[in-house]
Amino acid sequence: MTAHAARRRWLGALAAGATACRASMTADAARRRWLGALAAGATATLFPASLSALRGFRPPLRDACAADNVFATPLQIPGHDGWRGRLAVGADPLTLRAQTRDGTLQFAAEGNGRRYSNPTLAAAIGTKARITVANNLGEPTVVHWHGLTIDTRNDGNGETLIAPSTSFDYAFELRNRAGQYWYHPHPHGATARQTYRGLFGILEIEDDDERALRRALDLTPGSTELTLVLQDLRADAKYRYMPAPEDALFGWYGDLPQVNGRLRPFHDVSARRYRLRVLNASNARTYRLALRRDAGAVLPFRLLGTDGGLLAQAIACEQVFLAPAERVDLLVDFAGMPRGGFVLLESLAFDPMLAVPATQAARSDSATASAHVHGSTGFPAERSALADGAPFPLLQFRIRETGAAGPRVPASLSRLPVLPASTGDERPLRLGFAKGRWRINDRVYDMQATPIEIARGVSETWLLRNYHTSAPHAMHLHGFQFRVLERETSPDQLAPLVVDGKGRLATDLGSKDTVLVWPGESVRIAIDFRHPFAESQLYLLHCHNLEHEDGGMMLRVKVG
């Protein structure tokens, strides 16, 4: 039996859900055969997964069989109150109270006589937001508005903190194009823990292009437009954060990949178009998102937008990588599918490319780290049962109503900001590992040092170069959206995703605030540093693998 056939059977068993355990060949056996075939290398080009990616992969079906259904829980959809409920931000001030609840951290809010936790803030472009963050945690925190054009005072970069039992009044104009931005904690050294424990939410900005798209495709938030937040939790820890030395070094990987707070949910849909706005809120895990029909056939989709809003045109895709903090805006078409059919949103296998030599890792500040690093590549012993790069299902769509083909997707979605010509030489930024810490240009974060100084009103080209012996780094710049110009010496596993002669992926063609740079790869980005603020401003460049960030993979950037 070919690996492909085994995989199809596995997917079929997944799709069948309740009947998976009664199949003549058990799903677990199918999975073993599939993994066995993969290991034999028969399909190396089809599934470029390294063995390390599969090591320690716990079959998702075993738990599922116990529950007699793989996708047993409905997808949680935020409403107009409660958990992640949609809360309009307008002229009225709003208070977010950071608090502990049921072992998680969350922002509680009230508005229009309703109560919210981690509200989805929805605002029109140009809104002057006044948001008070009250800290009811027993520790300092601060809120960073991820992706926004914002001044240092409101950026929440962690150099000023909100002490316990005090509050901070944010006041800023929402200047950005429509897009799915987000807010999350940024107290240096505690960002990973507070984010993992649930203290974050989404900020949606709307503009004319956004409203035109929703009209053209008949998209309604909460119905045919779904926000999907991905976060992997530890089965043995849930919302407790207890990183071992190798977790602190490589990243805190969970083994329960949650979609909107649930493991492997299902969602009943009509056979029509749906928009999926996906945020990767995981500390360290990157997803390789793809859609498959019940029979195993790839279901292509369209990429509508990226971190900083809509693309100029929708692009047909079969898969996208989504690194921590990145967002993708996808359009999926279930039209023509029969009632009773299934579509699976999954993360495909990939080589995680964690390649820090054991000798280097052994020099980590933590003496115990070396004990957990083995082999010539130094891949860490996985404490998570779901290794980085392992494949897993995320969400099942069940076709419950027939539907007609929708209207044409508009040829033009939006206009991206025009990039002025870059001034000066390109700025090299090397990403690597030395003396037990991840570094940018051999440096770690220091509040007393500002290694990057940008003159007022310029545009620059940055060359992000990741060493071969490194890890993937999801590089995030505060305060500015940027554009990806080129990728060079990319790993082979990106080849199927490349869309132009500059080595770029579909997800590189929009506005970005976070970009994944693989080991051995160089990514050239262009940043327009013009800003509307009178004084010079201080921002941060850092890796959004939150353990790398808390470990100091972060530099100050002063913009004149």
Could you list the residues that contact Cu ion (CB under 5 A)? 473, 543, 545, 548
- Reported residue count of the chain is 560
Nearer to Cu ion among residue 291 and residue 543 (C-beta): 543
CA gap 157, 445 in Å, rounded = 12
Neighbouring C-alpha atoms within 13 Å toward the C-beta of 195: 33
Helix (H, G, I), strand (E, B) or coil at 351: coil
Plot region of 6 (φ>0 → left; ψ -120 to 50 → alpha; else → beta): alpha
Nearer to Cu ion among residue 78 and residue 432 (C-beta): 432
In the complex, minimum distance from the CB of residue 545 to Cu ion, in angstroms, rounded to a whole number: 4
Q: Is 136 exposed, middle or buried (0-12, 13-18, 19+ CB in 10 A)?
A: middle
Nearer to Cu ion among residue 183 and residue 433 (C-beta): 433
Adjacent-strand bridge partners of 130: 171
In the complex, minimum distance from the CB of residue 440 to Cu ion, in angstroms, rounded to a whole number: 9
539-553 residues labelled b (16+ CB within 10 A) or e (exposed): bbbbbbbbbbbbbbb
In the complex, minimum distance from the CB of residue 510 to Cu ion, in angstroms, rounded to a whole number: 22
List the Cα angle 145/149/150 in 5-degree steps: 65
In the complex, minimum distance from the CB of residue 542 to Cu ion, in angstroms, rounded to a whole number: 8
Nearer to Cu ion among residue 399 and residue 546 (C-beta): 546
Q: Nearest to residue 241, comparing CAs of 99, 437, 105?
A: 105
Nearer to Cu ion among residue 83 and residue 467 (C-beta): 467
Q: In what order do the strands lie in the sheet with 459-466?
A: 437-440, 427-434, 459-466, 522-528, 482-488
Q: Nearest to residue 202, comparing CAs of 226, 172, 180, 176?
A: 180
Token pair of 362, please?
Answer: 């052994």
In the complex, minimum distance from the CB of residue 284 to Cu ion, in angstroms, rounded to a whole number: 8
Q: Nearest to residue 464, comparing CAs of 507, 539, 514?
A: 514
In the complex, minimum distance from the CB of residue 340 to Cu ion, in angstroms, rounded to a whole number: 44
Q: Which residue of the chain is nearest Cu ion when measured via CB?
A: 543
Nearer to Cu ion among residue 230 and residue 356 (C-beta): 356
Nearer to Cu ion among residue 219 and residue 484 (C-beta): 484
In the complex, minimum distance from the CB of residue 466 to Cu ion, in angstroms, rounded to a whole number: 9
CA gap 372, 380 in Å, rounded = 6
Nearer to Cu ion among residue 286 and residue 537 (C-beta): 286
In the complex, minimum distance from the CB of residue 469 to Cu ion, in angstroms, rounded to a whole number: 14
Question: How do beta strands 256-259 and 262-263 pair?
Answer: antiparallel
In the complex, minimum distance from the CB of residue 251 to Cu ion, in angstroms, rounded to a whole number: 8
Nearer to Cu ion among residue 473 and residue 531 (C-beta): 473
Helix (H, G, I), strand (E, B) or coil at 469: coil
Nearer to Cu ion among residue 372 and residue 548 (C-beta): 548
Nearer to Cu ion among residue 123 and residue 554 (C-beta): 554
CA gap 56, 52 in Å, rounded = 8
Neighbouring C-alpha atoms within 13 Å toward the C-beta of 230: 31
Token look-up 């709003």 returns 94
In the complex, minimum distance from the CB of residue 49 to Cu ion, in angstroms, rounded to a whole number: 21
In the complex, minimum distance from the CB of residue 365 to Cu ion, in angstroms, rounded to a whole number: 17
Contacts of 22 (CB under 8 A, 6+ apart): none
